[in-house]
Amino acid sequence: LKVLSPSWKKTRFLRLQDDCKTMWRESKKTFKSCQTFPVADIQEVRMGRQSEGLKKNAEEQAESRCFSIVFKGRRKNLDLIASSEEESKQWIKSLQKLVSNVNNMNRKQTTEHWIFSCLRKADKNKDDKLSPSEVKSFLRLINIEMDDDYADMLFKKCDKSHSGYLDGEEVAHLYDLLTNREEIDVIYGEYAKTTGFMSADNLVGFLMKEQREKATLADAQKIIEKYEPDEQAKEK
């Protein structure tokens, strides 16, 4: 049960997606028959009636069946009452393990997770396929700027089935083309003096030597702040 008030308790279904990093939840709102949110958005899972909403709106005898999903940022808690104490414990234990796994992902896993999230966001009609316009939307989401002609060429290169959209292995091929680039590995090998990431100091060196730009440390920090998806990496 999702709880909003003493009189508003509605049955809702939650399901972990196949990627093991995204949760699906049912919604009765118009145009929102299904919603997803990344596990990475969860700050913590609280057992019992710890949230203000559950303290106010759930009966005391339901204490052992209550739990709250607390999100990062300003997003509202998701207050829930399971059908049994055992079900509540299973959800809490499973979600806490998922959150821990996501938080402990290494740099490569974090980047892959971010790219996968952008792929899902670009897939507007949620049919697990990418149209040419959705591919362009995906490229913008991952901060890749290219003209329409090059994006169309990239799409046709991946569309092996000539179906007019990408799915399955074709999406995987697109991912490989975008991420497995030798020139990027060469740049990292030359300028990244730290393991797994390029610091602001390293980026200044690259901008000045390769791009011939009069870059400052502040300029590099602005670029990292704008384009780096990993919040932990921004702090390094």
For the domain made up of 107-179, the CATH class stated in words is mainly alpha
Please report, for the chain, the start and end positions of each structural domain, with discontinuous segments joined by +.
Answer: 2-103, 107-179, 182-234
Q: Which residue has the higher pLDDT, 177 or 132?
A: 132
pLDDT tens-digit readout, 208-217: 887 788 888 8
Q: 2-103 maps to which CATH number?
A: 2.30.29.30
- Kindly report the backbone phi and psi dihedral angles of residue 38, in degrees, each rounded to the nearest multiple of 5, phi listed first: -70, 145
Average pLDDT over all residues of the chain:
81
**Angstrom distance (rounded) from CA 126 to CA 141:** 16
Cα 123 from Cα 70, distance rounded (Å): 26
- Name the least confident of 127-131, 162-166, 210-214: 210-214
| pTM score | 0.47
Tell me the C-alpha distance between 227 and 179, whole Å. Answer: 15
pLDDT tens profile 133-163: 999 999 888 878 788 898 899 999 999 999 9
Residues 2-58: tens digit of each pLDDT = 656 555 566 777 888 877 778 887 765 545 545 888 888 899 999 999 988 888 888
